[in-house]
């Protein structure tokens, strides 16, 4: 049960976070040239976009839901501590000093600059791009250090709260089970933000975080150092070095919109392979076309403004069919602001 004081602290903290990240968003927008199409005309989304009042209403709805989950003891009242004041200010400075490079890439539509880096290992072409026009793509330690800040700016402070919604179907699955006997795999765990929520809620649940980016896993390691029972694997989600039927729960947060259509199917098949019979797959990613009235145009802007090259096929993908073909049964979904949570169970 959340006390009135906890509620007040939560509201104050999340309000401050939204104001902080939104102020960065607005400042970044001011420094950005108007978006253009590939042929140089002004970019105009074909579908409707939500106005600021609708976005703020839906953002507030997400935080209400976050608090309600805590009130129902699904997880502890979220704190979302972003570090000391010094490190928060340092991240802000790093964000702005990188911004001109991001803007240059956006204007020149230069999305393959990362290929000039010395790339170690065998990385697929779809991965070696400057996603979000970010410096270093997913390949460098500097990019890993800035990533959480960039994502929170993009989502005006809602990224963590959206990730946390995966804990709801996770709690439903964990009910009356011994966490020490279960196994969870977070595919494309990135900097480990979601795994931190998992370990905070289920400290004795053994987990694996898998990602193709070694640099992001280094960052994840530092975010997760206070917890034990965590294995981090640098690997491709297309062929995970994880035994068949070994995982009770698999999660994938904000991965599928960054995969080409043919790769999505391969990853779905590999997820199904790694799950135990009756195991659960929890998907959190962007809403798709038609999921939220008046939002489809925003998804078009997301693709063009943040270099998300597979977004236009992602927003039309039939995931229920795709995962059914892989052997996973759709159990339901819910929208969480700009994201949706989908739940699939492996047919036993």
Ligand X SMILES: C[S@@+](CC[C@H](N)C(=O)[O-])C[C@H]1O[C@@H](n2cnc3c(N)ncnc32)[C@H](O)[C@@H]1O
Measured from the CB atom, the residue of 138 and 283 that comes closer to ligand X is 138
How many CA atoms lie within 13 Å of 267's alpha carbon, on the beta-carbon side? 25
What the block records as the tokens of 19 is 């104001």
Binders of ligand X among residues 155 to 194 (CB under 6 A) are 163, 188-190, 193-194
- CA–CA distances in Å: residue 321 to residues 269, 284, 317, 333: 12, 17, 9, 14
Residues near ligand X (CB under 6 A), total: 19
CA atoms of 26 and 24, how far apart (whole Å): 5
Is 302 a binder of ligand X (CB under 6 A)?
no
> Which of 14, 236, 247, 286 lies at the binding interface for ligand X (CB under 6 A)?
236
Measured from the CB atom, the residue of 72 and 222 that comes closer to ligand X is 222
Binders of ligand X among residues 205 to 224 (CB under 6 A) are 211-213, 216
Smallest separation, CB 238 to ligand X (Å) = 6
Instruction: Please choose, from the candidates 292, 294, 273, 272, the residue with its C-alpha nearest in 3D space to the C-alpha of residue 283.
Output: 272
Which listed range, 60-68, 73-81, 177-185, 236-244, lies at the site for ligand X (CB under 6 A)? Answer: 236-244
CA atoms of 272 and 91, how far apart (whole Å): 38
Number of neighbouring beta carbons within 10 Å of residue 68: 12
> Which of 254, 302, 323, 344 lies at the binding interface for ligand X (CB under 6 A)?
254
Is 311 a binder of ligand X (CB under 6 A)?
no
Pairing of strands 184-187, 328-336: unpaired
DSSP per residue over 15-54, as a string? HHHHHHHHHHHHHHHHTSPPPB-TTSSBP--SS----HHH
CA atoms of 317 and 259, how far apart (whole Å): 12
Smallest separation, CB 117 to ligand X (Å) = 14
Measured from the CB atom, the residue of 213 and 247 that comes closer to ligand X is 213
How many CA atoms lie within 13 Å of 165's alpha carbon, on the beta-carbon side? 26
Measured from the CB atom, the residue of 70 and 237 that comes closer to ligand X is 237
Measured from the CB atom, the residue of 256 and 295 that comes closer to ligand X is 256
Smallest separation, CB 251 to ligand X (Å) = 8
Residue 77 carries which DSSP code? Answer: P
Measured from the CB atom, the residue of 2 and 123 that comes closer to ligand X is 123
Is 291 a binder of ligand X (CB under 6 A)?
no
End-to-end CA distance of the chain: 35
Smallest separation, CB 267 to ligand X (Å) = 7
Binders of ligand X among residues 3 to 62 (CB under 6 A) are none
- Helix (H) / strand (E) containing 266: helix 261-274
Is 145 a binder of ligand X (CB under 6 A)?
no
Measured from the CB atom, the residue of 7 and 191 that comes closer to ligand X is 191
In the three-class reduction of DSSP (H, G, I as helix; E, B as strand; rest coil), residue 151 is classed as helix
What the block records as the tokens of 64 is 């209400």
**What does the per-residue mask of binding to ligand X show for 256-285, with x meaning CB under 6 A?**
--x---------------------------
Binders of ligand X among residues 82 to 121 (CB under 6 A) are none
Measured from the CB atom, the residue of 40 and 121 that comes closer to ligand X is 121
Interface positions with ligand X (CB under 6 A): 127, 138, 163, 188-190, 193-194, 211-213, 216, 236-238, 253-255, 258
């Amino acid at each position: 049960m959340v006390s009135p004081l906890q509620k007040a602290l939560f509201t104050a903290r999340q309000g401050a976070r939204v104001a902080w990240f939104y102020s960065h968003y607005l400042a970044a927008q001011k420094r950005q040239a108007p978006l253009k199409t590939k042929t140089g005309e002004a970019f105009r989304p074909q579908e409707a976009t939500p106005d600021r009042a609708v976005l703020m209403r839906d953002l507030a709805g997400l935080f209400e839901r976050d608090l309600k989950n805590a009130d129902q003891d699904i997880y502890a009242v979220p704190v979302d501590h972003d570090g000391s004041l010094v490190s928060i200010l340092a991240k802000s400075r790093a964000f702005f000093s990188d911004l001109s490079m991001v803007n240059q890439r956006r204007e020149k539509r230069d999305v393959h600059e990362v290929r000039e880096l010395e790339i170690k290992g065998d990385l697929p072409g779809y991965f070696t791009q400057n996603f979000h026009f970010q410096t270093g793509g997913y390949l460098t330690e500097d990019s890993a250090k800035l990533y959480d800040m960039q994502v929170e700016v993009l989502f005006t402070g809602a990224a963590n709260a959206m990730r946390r919604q995966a804990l709801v179907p996770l709690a439903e699955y964990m009910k009356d089970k011994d966490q020490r006997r279960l196994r969870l795999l977070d595919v494309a765990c990135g900097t480990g933000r979601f795994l931190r929520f998992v370990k905070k809620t289920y400290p004795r649940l053994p987990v694996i975080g898998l990602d193709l980016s070694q640099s992001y896993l280094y960052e994840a390691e530092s975010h997760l150092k206070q917890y034990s029972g965590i294995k981090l694997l640098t690997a491709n989600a297309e062929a995970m070095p994880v035994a068949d039927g070994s995982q009770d729960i698999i999660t994938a947060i904000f991965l599928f919109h960054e995969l080409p259509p043919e790769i999505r199917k391969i990853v779905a098949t590999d997820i199904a392979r790694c799950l135990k019979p009756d195991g659960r797959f929890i998907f959190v990613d962007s809403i798709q076309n038609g999921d939220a009235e008046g939002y489809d145009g925003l998804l078009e802007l997301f693709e063009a403004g943040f270099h998300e090259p597979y977004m236009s096929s992602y927003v039309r993908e039939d995931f229920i069919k795709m995962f059914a073909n892989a052997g996973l049964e759709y159990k339901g979904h819910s929208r969480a602001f700009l994201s949706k949570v989908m739940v699939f169970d492996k047919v036993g």
